[in-house]
Amino acid sequence: MFEVKNTTDLDMAAINQTAVYLGDGIGFIVTREPPSESVLRKTYTVCNDSGQGRKAILILTDAQLFELLDLRCKDGSPTKWLQKHYRAFRTGLRVTRQLNREQPAPNGESADANRPTVLVPISQAAQQIE
């Protein structure tokens, strides 16, 4: 599923809407600019909370679409690019989970809900793949 948002400021409502429409599987939101940390965190939450079927929402920007078009015009593989983007999402999700487990809770408490969330941006996760 692809959803196109003509906005520079993607919000939580857009992620929630896509998650509802998506069902299970992978969905893409195309937007003008890269998402904020909070929006990216929301995509991780959707993936974590989706249970067995697992849904993933990847966000593509105008610049990334141009990159894909340029790649295709040069007889490159957009499929490999998208697979790398998906792996970066999954790596960021996995690293974020690991960091959140290791993060000490405030005041020495042990409850996970009281721990600050550590977020690994997709771009940083992609560097770990290369």
Where along the chain do its domains lie? 2-129
pTM: 0.71
Measure the CA–CA gap between 77 and 90, rounded to whole angstroms.
20
- Residue 130 pLDDT exceeds 50: no
User: What's the pLDDT at 124?
Assistant: 53
Q: How many C-beta neighbours within 10 Å does residue 93 have?
A: 19
Instruction: Provide the sign of the torsion angle of the four alpha carbons 61, 63, 67, 69, taken in this order.
Output: positive
Tokens of 90: 């999954």
Measure the CA–CA gap between 34 and 9, rounded to whole angstroms.
8
74 vs 61, 68, 78, CA distance in Å? 20, 10, 10
- Residue 111 pLDDT exceeds 60: no
pLDDT class for 7, splitting at 50, 70, 90? confident
Within 8 A by CB and 6+ apart from 19, the residues are: 27, 46, 50, 55, 57
Measure the CA–CA gap between 100 and 129, rounded to whole angstroms.
20
- Residue 45 pLDDT exceeds 50: yes
Measure the CA–CA gap between 96 and 71, rounded to whole angstroms.
30
